[in-house]
Amino acid sequence: MNTNETTGTDCAPWCTNEDARGRTDHTCIGDNSDCIELTAALDYLTLDDDGVESSFCFITPVQEADRRPGVSMTWEVGHHPEFRPRLTPEEARRIAAELVATADLVDGRR
């Protein structure tokens, strides 16, 4: 387990943020998930001269100083600013379950 040298706080077991160890703001960040292309979002975008604008999402474990660990979702659609909600683990599980249930409904699996 990594320990923050300044605060003496232990990093989360999943922390890969080397900068967290020597800082007083001590933010643990884990590895990002694979980038998830959001092709449905492309229906709402105007194409640039270069072609399709990027649209993606990825998930990252995070724990800021004096806060409980959580799940960060980074969403970027085209050249619009990122949307980065922070979720509790339970909120992330509920959203994941709802996404699966709705996808199954759309695909006729339910």
Residue 62 binned pLDDT confidence (cut-offs 50, 70, 90):
very high
DSSP per position, 39-51 = GGGGGG-PPBTTB
* pTM for this predicted structure: 0.71
CA separation (Å) from 81 to 23, 46, 49? Answer: 28, 15, 20
Per-residue pLDDT tens over the stretch 2-20: 665 555 667 888 988 877 5
What is the tally of structural domains in the chain?
Answer: 1
Mean pLDDT of 74-88: 81
Residue 15 lies in a domain: no
Residue 18 lies in a domain: no
Residue 58 lies in a domain: yes
Residue 1 lies in a domain: no
What is the domain extent for residue 57?
Answer: 28-107
Largest CA distance in the chain: 54
Residue 40 binned pLDDT confidence (cut-offs 50, 70, 90):
low
